[in-house]
Amino acid sequence: MKRGAAVVFVGVYPSAPEEIVGCYALSAFSLKLRDIPARYQRRLARYPDVGVALLGRLAVGVPFRGQHMGEFLLVDALHRLGSVVGNECHRSAGTGCLGWLGDRLYPL
pLDDT in tens, 72-88: 998 888 888 776 655 45
Domains for the chain: give ranges and CATH numbers.
6-107 (3.40.630.30)
By DSSP bridging, strand 104-107 and strand 98-101 are antiparallel
Q: Look at residue 85 in the predicted model and tell me its pLDDT.
A: 57
25 compared with 105, residue with greater pLDDT? 25
Q: Return d(Cα 88, Cα 98) in angstroms, integer.
A: 11
Region at 87 (left for phi over 0; alpha for psi -120 to 50; beta for the rest): alpha
- pLDDT above 60 (res 45): yes
CA 24/CA 87 separation, integer angstroms: 24
